Structure 1
Amino acid sequence: MLKKINVAELVLGMYFCGFDAGWLNHPFWKTRFLLKHENDLEQARASGIAYCWIDISRGRDVMAAVEDDRMTVPSGAPRDGGDDDAALAVEVIVTRTADDPALEQAIALREHARELTRSMFTAARMGRVVALPQCVDLVEEIACSVLRDPTGLLSVLRLKLNDEYTYLHSVAVCALMVALGRTLGLSESACREAGLCGYLHDVGKAFIDDDILNKPGRLSDEEFALIKRHPELGYQYLIQNPDMPAYACEVCLHHHERLDGRGYPDALAADAITQYTRMTAICDVYDALTSERPYKQGWDPADALYQMASWEGHFDRRLLLAFVKTLGIYPVGSLVRLESGLAGRVIRQNPTDLTRPVVQVLHARDEHDIGSNGVLDLMAWPRTDGIVQRGQDANPAS
């Protein structure tokens, strides 16, 4: 129920669904939300963008606004944030990338990978042996994308809807594994091996009921026991293909092991856990923590890295430090507050200084604070600003 209207026609009570402009060239970091505050209207009208989209099934229509100047909030309107925001974030990016061919390619690869992964999980449920050549070809595409531009695909893969999480999680972990392998100095062939491990690590979830995987509440002991079977179920599935590399089967079986021996299914000691498995454990947990799920909100990326670093005995410390270097101290998507008081979201890394990324400003005092596109490169000279706070506490809306 999307409708394109003139920005001047926006009123409180409308459900805003993005500007008809480049996805970064606007003042809102949320792309889908109910207009409830005058300052949001003021920012929209001051943006200089002529047209925007509203969802008339979730808020007021233009004609309804003329007939009734009272603010009416539909009872079924979703909360700010969460899956609806992720849904439109994907929609907005997909429809507004004509000026960014690299981002277009990343989005096309995301969609292609999701459908192939969905098909792989469906085939597994039907008892068909995994099509290894197809998996290898997809991993090759992902690896080429990540090795060419580490930021693009990883940024796009942060956006997942509940009904596609399982599939895109596999794709995201594959991409993270390739990126981490590159940071570790692995050969390109080893990076692709790592990517295959990441891609297939959760295939055992094909054999777990979706009602359990996507349950919004706390799992019962019986349900959690079923979830914990997915590494073994995946392993038993993968070994049916005689051409499946042993390292991929090993990672599938043991990606939930911990260095302190408190993991599952075999409570392996540290020296029994392979490097690919240790890498997958890090990439798997990071993507799970930062993704929206029916039972939790996604963590801020910088917060997730900080918390993971505090978990004693869980991860290989050397690999985790390399992972932080891969993503940056403030990964793409992190909320930050600057010395100037501006708040923003990280959209790109500066490889020469991971403490000074490129930031999309969320809230500014006036137009002189930022460039015409609302983007600040903290490496720009002269350096007049820097990050003083990270994570959800830096969110001006919190």
Structure 2
Amino acid sequence: MTQLKKISVNELAVGMYFSGFDGPWIENPFWRSKFLIEHAADVSRARSAGFEFCWIDISLGRDVIAASQVEEGVEPVAVAPAAPITPEEEYRQELGEALRLYESAKESTQLMFKQARLGKTLDVERCQDLVEEIAASVTRNSNALLSIIRLKRADEYTYLHSIAVCTMMVALARTLGMDNTACKEAGLAGYLHDVGKAFIPLEVLNKPGKLTDQEFRIIQRHPVLGYEYLSGFAGVPDYVLDVCLHHHEKIDGSGYPGRQQGNQIDLYSRMAAVCDVYDAITSDRSYKTAWDPAESLARMASWNGHFDRPIFLTFVKTLGIYPIGSIVKLRSGRTALVIRQNHKDLTKPVVKAFTTTLSIEALESEIIDLSSPDQEDVISERSGQDWIRSNGLVLDSLKALVEGSDSAGVPAP
């Protein structure tokens, strides 16, 4: 039987079953709302979160040792003080938590699309809970989840695209200075923006070759189909309906389905237009290979009339000039994969640099922080995706980083 007890956050210790802070969930530094505290690092993170009180479940974990118990001769359980967590340890821990969240989100999103395809009721509350967890992860460290969303295969694109756009919408909203409520709203709108694709025939949606004009018109129906589906549920907010219907509108009025232009397009829809296109062109699809992230931003910048310019520039600031997954050439002649941003200097990210043979085979690699004072190497140019694609090193390197095999000596964000 649950036995909740309110305690001071300073009394929190390893062995207690944490059941939430006495405050807003969005500011929770953990992606789980309830769990057994097994590491001193979790205690340290809880104490630095800014809350005065929290809840523990004494039926599932240890209780606070009261002063009266000590007077009566009851030996208190020795608990080592929570050691301060280093930025490197915090980032590594967040990568692991982001990966677990991502796997859970994959299952939930697959189920959502399946239920939509069958015409079943949308579980709006479950969607909101997932978005809150994504928002909490982005708030703690946006680099972690933005790294994880690069790890998707072409056959997973439709539903993982929803998770990626949700994550980028939250991150973009934070950079735009929106409050916590608006960040979650943007995330929910991004998560549900493409639900209409559940009603597009799979042979059209996953066609490996070029679409015919008729097939393209079928694809273009997904915003309206999604809008009609979501409109049938009382709990779906209006801003979600708007983004679902208008995320393919363009600033110059040449988009669809409403040919809206300029500020006729709602703010969240203008944000979603950028996030949606970026994830689409940087992902492997059934009919094309992914574009390099840095090259994608450069191309998007040249599409006059497509995006809201201030929002696009803020998006670049959010992801970095060289987004995670970008391939760059270093002045030393090495090719490097961007694995993390340095938000204080977007021109000097953390990279995994490769030394290669003449046949473009990787011999060795090292992780370096280009912003380090003693680091002389710099980015000389964008490299594009051909070399890295042919060797499969984008996914392999990011997976190695997530799994910890590259963690030794990784510079802190």
| Secondary structure of 1:385's aligned partner | coil
Structure 1 residue 340, shift from structure 2 partner:
1.4
Residues 202-351 of structure 1 aligned to structure 2 (within 5 Å): 202-351=194-343
User: Within 2, Cα distance between the matches of 1:110 and 1:208?
Assistant: 25
- The TM-score with structure 1 as length reference comes to 0.72
* Code of the aligned partner of 1:173: V
User: Within 2, Cα distance between the matches of 1:397 and 1:324?
Assistant: 23
Residues 354 and 365 in structure 2, CA contact (< 8 A), matched pair in contact too? no
- CA deviations 1:330-376 (Å, max 9, x no partner) are 001100111111210001111110000011012268xxxxxx97111
| Secondary structure of 2:125's aligned partner | helix
| Secondary structure of 1:376's aligned partner | strand
* Code of the aligned partner of 1:390: R
| Secondary structure of 2:263's aligned partner | helix
Q: Between Structure 1 and Structure 2, whose CA radius of gyration is higher?
A: 2
- CA deviations 1:226-262 (Å, max 9, x no partner) are 1000000000001101121000000000000000000
- CA deviations 1:78-101 (Å, max 9, x no partner) are xxxxxxxxxxxxxxxxxxx9x943
* Code of the aligned partner of 1:363: T
User: Within 2, Cα distance between the matches of 1:182 and 1:174?
Assistant: 13
Q: Describe the shift of the 1:397–1:196 C-alpha distance in structure 2 as closer, same or farther (beyond 3 A).
A: closer
Percent identity reads 54
Structure 1 residue 269, shift from structure 2 partner:
2.1
User: Within 2, Cα distance between the matches of 1:352 and 1:201?
Assistant: 32
Q: Match for 2:109 among 88, 105, 117?
A: 117
Residues 84-233 of structure 1 aligned to structure 2 (within 5 Å): 100-233=92-225
User: Within 2, Cα distance between the matches of 1:394 and 1:286?
Assistant: 19
| Secondary structure of 1:392's aligned partner | coil
Residues 64-103 of structure 1 aligned to structure 2 (within 5 Å): 100-103=92-95
User: Within 1, Cα distance between the matches of 2:147 and 2:388?
Assistant: 22
Structure 1 residue 162, shift from structure 2 partner:
2.5
- CA deviations 1:283-339 (Å, max 9, x no partner) are 000000000011100000000000000000000000000000000000011001111
**Which residue of structure 1 aligns with residue 374 of structure 2?**
382
- Two-structure CA RMSD over aligned residues (Å): 1.9
User: After TM superposition, which residue ranges in structure 1, 4 or more long, deviate above 6 angstroms?
Assistant: none
User: Within 1, Cα distance between the matches of 2:256 and 2:95?
Assistant: 38
Q: Describe the shift of the 1:254–1:336 C-alpha distance in structure 2 as closer, same or farther (beyond 3 A).
A: same
Q: How many residues are aligned here?
A: 295
User: Within 2, Cα distance between the matches of 1:162 and 1:316?
Assistant: 28
Q: Mind listing any 5+ residue stretches in structure 2 that lack a counterpart?
A: 1-88, 358-363, 391-413
- The TM-score with structure 2 as length reference comes to 0.69
| Bigger Cα displacement from structure 2, 384-393 vs 147-156 | 384-393
User: Within 2, Cα distance between the matches of 1:271 and 1:102?
Assistant: 37
Structure 1 residue 126, shift from structure 2 partner:
1.3
User: Within 1, Cα distance between the matches of 2:212 and 2:388?
Assistant: 37
Residues 202 and 234 in structure 1, CA contact (< 8 A), matched pair in contact too? yes
User: Within 1, Cα distance between the matches of 2:205 and 2:354?
Assistant: 34
Residues 301 and 391 in structure 1, CA contact (< 8 A), matched pair in contact too? no
- CA deviations 1:67-116 (Å, max 9, x no partner) are xxxxxxxxxxxxxxxxxxxxxxxxxxxxxx9x943222111111110110
Q: Describe the shift of the 1:274–1:391 C-alpha distance in structure 2 as closer, same or farther (beyond 3 A).
A: farther
Residues 197 and 247 in structure 1, CA contact (< 8 A), matched pair in contact too? yes
User: Within 2, Cα distance between the matches of 1:226 and 1:394?
Assistant: 32
Structure 1 residue 271, shift from structure 2 partner:
2.2
Residues 243 and 269 in structure 2, CA contact (< 8 A), matched pair in contact too? yes
Residues 335 and 394 in structure 1, CA contact (< 8 A), matched pair in contact too? no
Residues 31-50 of structure 1 aligned to structure 2 (within 5 Å): none
